[in-house]
Amino acid sequence: MKLAIVDYGAGNIYSLEKALWHIGVETVVTSERRVLEGCSGIVLPGVAAFNDAALRIRDHDLSEVLRRQVKEGKLLLGICLGMQLFFEESEEGGCVPRTEGLGLLKGKVVRLPEGLKVPHMGWNTLEITKQGRALKGIGSGSFSYFVHSYYASAAETDCISATTDYGVQIPAVLEKDNVVGMQFHPEKSGETGMQILKNIKEMLK
């Protein structure tokens, strides 16, 4: 059982690797198609701008690889920006009006409303809306660590397993078949995050 962490230059992933090692998940950091295809699951991390990240994924010829792996039933976990890249498009495009994502989930990524402190940074609670596999053992009111300025406006609300309140209801956990996304960083979210990563480990089996 090995989890591939996609390397496309979108932030420091050492803390994620360390957390996964701690619970006994072997990892490999890669952007190579054959390695991604040979692993039990894939993590798409990310701490960067949507536009830059989407371009890097395309530059590494990873878009179709990721879509195909999902279609074949492989678990794909998106963390923070990685989850946002699952959607069809984002307003966070610099000088362009919209930037295309992977299109695995319907909807778009939008900026947090005016009047809120941006970025949304720090601990916030989860409100469980649907008990999916990734949230086994996690109750409403559990704290997770967020750092983001944009959030997902999901067109299919039945994929939302948990939200967090920051002046607007932000989808915090998404699950659709073998696609799982988290707006927060589980590797930085204490016991809650470690339990979620353990649940991901079980989903890999």
Residue among 80, 89, 120, 175 flagged as catalytic: 80
Whether 95 has a pLDDT exceeding 90, the answer reads no
Confidence of residue 96 (pLDDT cuts 50, 70, 90): low
Alpha-carbon distance 165 to 144, whole Å? Answer: 12
Alpha-carbon distance 122 to 153, whole Å? Answer: 21
Confidence of residue 60 (pLDDT cuts 50, 70, 90): confident
Bond into 119 cis (ω within 30): yes
Please indicate whether residue 22 is annotated as part of the active site.
no
Residue among 17, 92, 175, 187 flagged as catalytic: 187
Q: What is the reported pLDDT for 189?
A: 98
pLDDT digits (tens, 9 = 90+) for 191-202: 999 999 999 999
Percent of the chain with pLDDT over 70: 98
**Structure token pair of residue 130:** 């649907």
Please indicate whether residue 185 is annotated as part of the active site.
yes
pTM of this prediction? 0.95
Taking every pair of C-alpha atoms in the chain, what is the biggest distance, in angstroms? 46
Q: What is the reported pLDDT for 94?
A: 58
Estimate to the nearest angstrom the gap between the alpha carbon of 159 and the chain centroid: 13
pLDDT digits (tens, 9 = 90+) for 105-142: 999 999 999 999 999 999 999 999 998 999 999 999 99
Percent of the chain with pLDDT over 90: 84
Q: For 2-204, CATH number?
A: 3.40.50.880
- Going by C-alpha positions, the residue among 54, 52, 102 that lies closest to residue 76 is 102
Whether 47 has a pLDDT exceeding 90, the answer reads no
Alpha-carbon distance 23 to 178, whole Å? Answer: 21
Please indicate whether residue 39 is annotated as part of the active site.
no
